[in-house]
Structure 1
C-alpha cells in the first residue's frame, strides 16, 4: 500500500502533466488582457521564466556530469547510471511544477508580490540571513527525521535508491519530501517579502543559486578546489562539496546538511573523511581514470542521431533512437557542433558499462556517417582511428572493436591497415564481423535450401556464402564481377562449389523467398521478391520496409546478460541492453582472452566457435528468427 502523500497527485497524467503549467500561463494572459495590454501584474510571468531556467539548470548540470571526456578522472563514484536509475528519476522535475503552483497561489495570499521592485539590495541580505538562520537548521533537522525508519522506508528511500548521484537525483523524491522542501526554499523568499525587503532580482537569484548548489552536490564530479579550503579553512563549514554530499549517499547517518557543513559539525553528524577524501580525489585526479579492458570505437550516424547521447539528453538516450519533433529546433546547434568537431575534435569517451567485472568503454570518432563517403575525408578519418588505437595501446586496453563504418573495407580494409602499419600493437584490434556473420546465419531457418545474397563479395557476404554452401544451401550471389565471384567460389571445398551461383540481375530471385541483403536495395529492386519473402540484412543503414506482403529482419544484434552494470544508453535504434553484433563480437574476444587480431577477411572456420562463445557468456540473439542453437 502506498504511503499517504508519497505519490504525486498528477502521476496519472504521465507526460501530459506539463499541461498544469497552462493554469499559470492562463493567468499571465488574463492579466495582460485585464490591464489593457500593459502587463503590470508580472508575478506569474516570472514564475514561468524561473521554471524554464530551473529546468535548463538541471539539464546543463546533468549534461556536464555525463561528459566523460571532461569529467572521468574526477568522478567520485565510478559506476555508470543504469536504466533502472534513469526510470526512477524520469519525473525528476515534478518539484518544479509543484513550486510553480505554490508560487502562483502565493500572490493571492500576499498581493504585494505582484508589485515587487526589480531590485532591492537589502533583499539579498535578508534572504541570506533567513537561509542561514532558518532554512539551513530546519532542513538539517527535517532531513534527520526523514532518515528515521518509518519516514525513510515510505518516503526518503526513493531518493537514496539512486546508486550514482546525478543532478536529476536531487529532484527525485516523493511528494511529501518536496512539499516540505518547498517550504524550506520559500522561507527566505517570502520572508524577505513579508518584512518589506522583497525584490524580483532576489527571487531569481535565490532560487537559481539554490538549484545550482543542489546540482553541485549531486553531480558526482568534484570541481571545488581543495586549495580554497587550505587557504580559507572556515569556508569548509560554509560550503559543501560533491564529495561531501556523496558520503551521505554511501554512508548514511552522516552529512545531513543542506549546503553548510557547519550544522553537521554542530549536530555531531559530520563524516570525518569528508575533506580528506575531497583533497585526495583532486590530488589523484590524473590517476583516477580507470583504464578500460575493452573499447568500442563508435561513430555518429547523422546529425540528429548525435543528440542520442547521455551527455545531451539522458532520458532520450535511454530509449531506442527515433526521430522526435523536439530534436528539430536543436538541429542547427548540432550542425554547428558538427562543423567544430570536424575541424578540431579528437576521439572522445562517451559512455561505459561493466560486464563480468571488466570495464567496457565506448569512444566516438568525431565524424558523421556521410563524411565516410567523401573521398577527401578518408585520410582524416583513418588518422582519428589510428590515434584511438595507439592511445588504447598506450593505456593498456586489451581489445578495441571497430564500429560499422570505422572498419569499412574501402576505408582501411576492415582494420588491416592499422595492424600492418603497427605490427607490435598490444591491444587487439577487432572488427567483430565473425559474430555478425554467425548471428545472420543463425537467423536463416535450417530448412531453407536457396538464398539470394546481395553484397555478395563483401567481407560478410563472402563468409555467409561460403558457410551456406557447406550446408548445401544454393546461394545466388548478386555481383557483376566474374573475377570476384570466382575467387570466392575457389575458396569453397570442391564438392560444395556448385552451390555458389553468380547472378547479375534481381530478376534471378523472383522465386526465392529468403533474401540476405548486404547492399542497400530500392523499392523497385525489392519488388522482384515473391510474396512471403523474408529480408535478412547486414546492411547499414537498414533497408526500408516497403513490401507489406514481406517481412524484414533486424540488423544482427545480441542482448547482454542481465548482470551487466552501469548500462544506461541504447545503441542507436537497438532496444535496451542490445548491441550490434560487431560490438558484442569485440566483447567476446575480450572475455575469451583471444590473442589474435580479428581484421580483414572473416575466418569461416571460426564462425561456430565465436557463436558458441557468445552463448556461453550469456549473450542471446534478439531476432524473432534467431534461436540459441549451435550452427
Structure 2
C-alpha cells in the first residue's frame, strides 16, 4: 500500500479475496453464449479468444517468475543482492488483478465497439501502426507520466506502492494501485484503439502488442542480466532502443533516474539516465554463479508440491504446504511435470539464503516421495544424491545436509553409502539426527515421566529412546517385536526403562510418533494426548480431541536473509532440524560427518543452535483440531 493511499487505490474486487476470479465468469459465459445462440453471420469469434489469451498471459508471467527465481538463486548475472521477504510476496500476490482488468476492458470493448468485432487474423498496416504509435506516442507519454508519478504528491499516494520492492521480481512490474493501472491501460490502448477505429486492427497485432508489453515488463524487473553484450557490440544504437534489467533496476534503487518505459532514448534526451547504468550492466553480465557454503538437499513430495516450491507459485510457497482441492484443475500441468521429473536426472537450485557470512542454497532432487519407496528407483535416486554431493564438493561447499527421504536407512544407510565410496570427501555430509533428537526432547512437556514411542524403527527413534531412558523417562511401545528391538539397540543398562504398554496405553499422554502410525493405533490415544513427530513427515491429524506438534524444527534467527518461502508444511521462518544441523556444522566449523550410525553430541548441537539465534517453536504451533 502507498504511504498515503489516494482515491481508487483499492481494486474493485479486492474484498472478494480468493473468489475475485468469479468476476470474470459472466463475461466468459456471455462470450460462449454469443457463439452458441447466434446465427453464423452474427457470431463474433474474436470475443471467444479473450479468455484463452488471458490464461496464456498468466502462464507467460509465471514462467518469468520461475525463471527469475531459479537464476537469482544460482547467482549468475544477479543484479541486486538484497533480500526478498514475505512482506513483498504478500504485497505482490495480486499480480493477476491487472490481467483481469485487461480482460474485462477487452470484453466490454469487443461488445460495444462495432469495428472491434470479428477482427481479421493479420493485417500488416495495423501491425506497423501499432509499432510506430508505441515508439513515438506511448513511450513519450509514459516517460513524462512516470516522472509525474515521482512527484511527492502522486508518489506518496500511488507510485510508492510499486517502489516498496527495491529488489524486484518479474511480477513487480504490475504491482500498482488500481488508479495507476487504469492510467497505464488507457496509455497502452492508444495503438490498439487507433487500429480498431481505422479498421487496420487484427488479432495478431493485439496479441503481439500485449505480449510484447508483458515480456518487456517482466524482463526489466527480473533482477538478473540476460541481454548478451554481443548484441550491443553488433548494433551500438540498440542501447537507446531497448532497456536492460540492470538499467531499470537502477530506477528501483536510485528512484530519480532511468524513467523510460522500454526505450532509454528519452532518458538520454532529458538527462535522467543514471551514470552508472553501463557499469552495472558490465558487472552483472560478468557475474559468475555463486558457490554455496552449505547445501541442503531435499526432494519433491506429492505431485502438487511443484506448485509449492519457491520456483512454483510464489503465493503457495509463502505458506505452509497444504493440498488445495482446486489444484486438480491443473492436472495437465501436474502430469507434464511428473513426466519431466522421470526424464530429468539432475538436481536443481530452489532457494538461496544468507546467515552471517554463510551462503546457503537448497537443491532439490526431481523425484517424488512415492518414488523413494520403489526398489527399482533407488539406484537412480542414489546416483542423483551422489552427484549432488560431488557437485557441492567441486563448488567448495563445507557441508551438505540430507533432507526428507534422501537419508533413508534403506536407501543409503543414512548417508553412509557416500562416505564409504568417497572417504576423502571434504564436504561434510550431515543427516541432522542429533538436532532432530534434541528438538524432540525439548518438546516433551516438563514433568513427563513416560512416553509412548510409535513408528517405524530408525536412527532417530533409537537415539530418542536411549536419551529418554538415560533421563529416567519410561519409553513404552505397543508391540513386543518393537520392545525387543529397542532393548537390543540401546543396551542393557538403559533398557530397564523400556516397557511394553498394553493395558495402560490410555494413561500415556505424550506420544512420540514416526512413520507407520496407523488409524487403529491413533484411536487408542486418550483425549488430550500430545503427538510429537520425530520424523520429517507430519502424521495424519485424525483426532479432533488431541494436540499435534510440528515435525522437529526451530524458528530461524532474524538475521537469516532472503526468506520468502516456507519449508514444506512448516510455518514461516521455521526450518527443519535436519536443515539447521548442516548450517550449525558450518557455523561451528565442525569438520566431521554425521551420517550412518554416527550421532553428534545432542547437548552440544542444541546449545549451538540457541547460541546462533535459533529457538524452539512456541507451544502455540501445536494445534488442537476442532
| TM-score scaled by length of structure 2 | 0.92
Query: 2:266 and 2:598 mapped to 1: Cα distance?
Result: 65
Unaligned 5+ residue runs, structure 1? none
Cα shift readout 1:376-427 (whole Å, capped 9, x = no counterpart): 3222222211211121112111111111211112222212222233222222
Query: 2:279 and 2:443 mapped to 1: Cα distance?
Result: 56
Query: 1:221 and 1:263 mapped to 2: Cα distance?
Result: 23
- Larger CA deviation: 128-137 vs 577-586: 577-586
Query: How far does residue 16 in structure 1 lie from its aligned partner after superposition?
Result: 2.5
Query: 1:49 and 1:273 mapped to 2: Cα distance?
Result: 42
Query: 1:9 and 1:332 mapped to 2: Cα distance?
Result: 32
**1:418–1:69: structure 2 CA closer, same or farther, 3 Å change rule?**
farther
Find the partner of 1:518 among 499, 502, 514: 514
Query: How far does residue 86 in structure 1 lie from its aligned partner after superposition?
Result: 0.7
In structure 1, what is the equivalent of residue 353 of structure 2? 353
Query: 1:361 and 1:107 mapped to 2: Cα distance?
Result: 49
In structure 2, what is the equivalent of residue 41 of structure 1? 44
1:499-538 matched pairs, under 5 angstroms: 499-501=497-499, 503=500, 509-538=505-534
Query: How far does residue 247 in structure 1 lie from its aligned partner after superposition?
Result: 1.7
8 Å contact from structure 1 (residues 532, 551) kept in 2 = yes
- For the pair 1:543 / 2:539, whether they are aligned, the reply is yes
Query: How far does residue 350 in structure 1 lie from its aligned partner after superposition?
Result: 1.1
**SS in structure 1 at match of 2:476:** strand
**1:194–1:547: structure 2 CA closer, same or farther, 3 Å change rule?**
closer
Q: CA RMSD in A?
A: 2.6
**1:625–1:488: structure 2 CA closer, same or farther, 3 Å change rule?**
farther
Query: 1:481 and 1:176 mapped to 2: Cα distance?
Result: 66
**1:64–1:38: structure 2 CA closer, same or farther, 3 Å change rule?**
farther
8 Å contact from structure 1 (residues 454, 479) kept in 2 = no
Cα shift readout 1:563-590 (whole Å, capped 9, x = no counterpart): 3221111111111111222112222222
Find the partner of 1:498 among 496, 500, 521: 496
1:145-184 matched pairs, under 5 angstroms: 145-184=148-187
1:78-477 matched pairs, under 5 angstroms: 78-106=81-109, 110-282=113-285, 284-285=286-287, 288-455=288-455, 457-477=457-477
Unaligned 5+ residue runs, structure 2? none
| TM-score scaled by length of structure 1 | 0.91
**1:96–1:527: structure 2 CA closer, same or farther, 3 Å change rule?**
closer
- For the pair 1:15 / 2:18, whether they are aligned, the reply is yes
Query: How far does residue 545 in structure 1 lie from its aligned partner after superposition?
Result: 2.8
Cα shift readout 1:310-342 (whole Å, capped 9, x = no counterpart): 222121111111112332233344344334433
Cα shift readout 1:221-271 (whole Å, capped 9, x = no counterpart): 322221111011112211112122112112222211111111111111122
- For the pair 1:480 / 2:475, whether they are aligned, the reply is no
Query: How far does residue 160 in structure 1 lie from its aligned partner after superposition?
Result: 1.2
**SS in structure 2 at match of 1:74:** coil
- Larger CA deviation: 443-452 vs 31-40: 31-40
Query: 1:519 and 1:22 mapped to 2: Cα distance?
Result: 44
8 Å contact from structure 2 (residues 550, 621) kept in 1 = no
Query: How far does residue 438 in structure 1 lie from its aligned partner after superposition?
Result: 1.0
Query: 1:519 and 1:233 mapped to 2: Cα distance?
Result: 62
**SS in structure 2 at match of 1:67:** helix
How many residue pairs align between the two structures? Answer: 618
8 Å contact from structure 1 (residues 443, 625) kept in 2 = no
